[in-house]
Structure 1
Amino acid sequence: MSRPEKSAISSPSAAEAAGIAAHCRDLLAPLGTVRIRRMFGGHGIYLDDLFIAIIAAGTLYLKTDATSVERFRDAGCRPFEYETRDGRHTMSYWSAPEEAMETPEAMAPWALLASDSARRAAAASAGRQRRRRS
Structure 2
Amino acid sequence: MDREFLIDLFADFGPVAIRKMFSGYGISADGINFALSLRAGLFFRADEMTIPDYEAEGSKPFQYSTRAKTVLVNSYWELPARLFDDSAELAQWARAALAAAQRAKVKKRPKAKKAVKKPANQPAKKVAKPAKAAKKVGKKSPARERATRRA
For this structure pair, what is the TM-score category when the shorter chain's length is used for normalisation?
0.7 to 0.9
Larger radius of gyration: 2
Give, as a single letter, the amino acid of the residue that structure 1 aligns with 2:56.
D
Equivalence map 1:30-41=2 (5 Å): 30-41=12-23
1 or 2, which has the higher strand percentage? 1
Q: 1:59 offset after TM fit, Å?
A: 1.0
C-alpha RMSD of the superposition: 1.6
Structure-1 separation of matches of 2:6 and 2:81: 13
Q: Verify: 1:130 aligned to 2:88, yes or no.
A: no
Q: Verify: 1:85 aligned to 2:67, yes or no.
A: yes
Of 76, 94, 97, the match for 2:80: 97
Q: 1:25 offset after TM fit, Å?
A: 2.0
TM-score when scaled to structure 2? 0.68
Structure-1 separation of matches of 2:9 and 2:41: 14
Equivalence map 1:54-93=2 (5 Å): 54-57=36-39, 59-91=41-73, 92-93=75-76
Query: Structure with the greater relative contact order (CA < 8 A, sep ≥ 6): 1 or 2?
Result: 1
State whether residues 32 and 48 of structure 1, in contact with CA within 8 Å, keep that contact through their aligned partners in structure 2.
Answer: no
Structure-2 separation of matches of 1:113 and 1:40: 24
1 or 2, which has the higher helix percentage? 1
State whether residues 27 and 103 of structure 1, in contact with CA within 8 Å, keep that contact through their aligned partners in structure 2.
Answer: no
Gaps of 5+ in 2: 115-151
Give, as a single letter, the amino acid of the residue that structure 2 aligns with 1:61.
F
Gaps of 5+ in 1: 1-16
TM-score when scaled to structure 1? 0.76
